[in-house]
Structure 1
Amino acid sequence: MAMTFTLNNGVTMPALGFGVFQTPPDETVAAVETALRTGYRHIDTAAAYGNERQVGEAVRRSGLARSEIFLETKIWISDYGYDATLHAFDKSAGKLGVEQIDLLILHQALPGRFELTVDAYRALETLLGDGRVRAIGVSNFMREHLDKLRKETSVVPAVNQIEIHPYFTQPDVLAADAEHGILSQAWSPIGGITFYRDSGHTSTLEDATIARIAQEHGKSPAQVMLRWGMQHGRSLIPKSTNPQRIAENFDVFDFELTTEELAAIDALDTGVRGGPDPEAVTLETFGLNIPEA
């Protein structure tokens, strides 16, 4: 199984990344340092997470060459618009302490103000053309958002980062990404942040089917879910601050699920979203002031 993906613009990205969503800034340096020591070479953060500065600090402390680490971050909706997004790059790059960002993506589609989304994406195209970013993409874009974006911009997104785990697989979005040569990247690939308050499900970590498959392979449920995502050709960015789990989540390259096992996990999809509905994301509800670098 390939440990890297080649994006649609030829840039290579590690298949398994390390996420820092909801990781408090004061825990981020240690978590990222642990991840880099473990072997992760792809770190995913976002302006809205408030921990880009700590990610940059961990990268510097690691002693690894900048070229060895693939850094991905996201522009928040409050910074959409052509000039605002160019400035948002400066804020993120400044906090990360880098000249160039490997993958810069728009965090949400902002459907009600899509003209701002288009202007923001045009700014990403400019940054790409100038070599300040190596690849550009989107996050939480549904099929209709991708279609609208493609009509008004020229660079096909390299990545679409969406919620994907055994209880929520978004087949329509996965199909739309595949049709356009966009790599689907799974946030919450273990389903850990998704508690399914309404659907009667507990965590995917307690699912009987996943537990049975894990037992057969001598692996943990989390490792089985990550392997499932990898074998489906998706980029994954699990997050943890626990050193043992950080290592466990990286130890997924030495076993393979059967076709039957993949199908059994596919069948667990509930169609119930855990994160915010992309259509419901508005500046009024989700606006945040992103501080200067």
Structure 2
Amino acid sequence: MTIVTQSYPKTSWRRFKASAFRVMTLLALLFVVGPALWLVLGVVVRAVPNWKWSVLTTLSQGTSGGLENAVVGTLVIMVGVLLVAGSVGVLTGIHLAELAPARKNGKAGGGLFRLAVDVLAGFPSIVLGYAGYVALCVALHWGFSLLPAILILSLMVVPYIAKSTESALRQVPTAYREGAEALGMTAGYSLRKVVLKSALPGIVTGLLIALAVAGGETAPLLYTAGATNSLPSWSLVHHPISYLTYYVWTDYNQPSAQAHVVSYDAALILVVLVLTLLVVSRLVVARTQRHSESFR
């Protein structure tokens, strides 16, 4: 009988490779986290020394004044995007994950819809903004206003919401669906009460991250929202609306020192807003996960 032995590398060499791999992963992490911390700290260091709370309650006045109109405008736009893009994106994700007919080879169905979502996700935001300007502001005579801004931003973030929703639904164990079917639940009832409940953490996370992305956009809003020194009106069209990224971009390019102060104030508010959304998303995920575990 022949005994086959397998030789292994020396222990010291294996330890070296493991240490080298850990160093590489740490460097990759620093490559991602480092620039983010540098940007956040840079904004905080420049904005906090000149910060005044009156910036939140004072309207803009050219390159000076406050940012009340921009803060309110940004929040209004984000709420509109949440309503429009959230509804369309979640329904699209549900269709791709649950309702699209499966292919014969077992792969995911809905190829045409999935291709459309992927193509839309690859469009540059400035191209979508210009298309919105031509189609909505000019062709439909809506002008710079709230509705074109909401529609174009929604079109931009719908693919992210749809993909996150589809991914969250596909991670729900098949046993949940089979158990619901064995209990006599209809497909629609099972989807609402079992599948969506289990996928809720991923769906909510996708919604909030997409909302943070929309809140930080500039190019689409330059073409659709315009800018104004007044608060948003109740009219969806024919009235421009302000947003924080406009002041970050325009005031930073001005020679005035006061304009730079306003620019960094707007950047600080945006950073706080985005971080708040991310923290809220984590809290929502933790809460829904506890409910899901209790359901299981």
**Structure-1-length-normalised TM-score:** 0.24
Larger strand fraction of residues: 1
Larger helix fraction of residues: 2
Kindly indicate whether structure 1 or structure 2 has the higher relative contact order, using CA contacts under 8 Å at least 6 residues apart. 2
**Structure-2-length-normalised TM-score:** 0.23
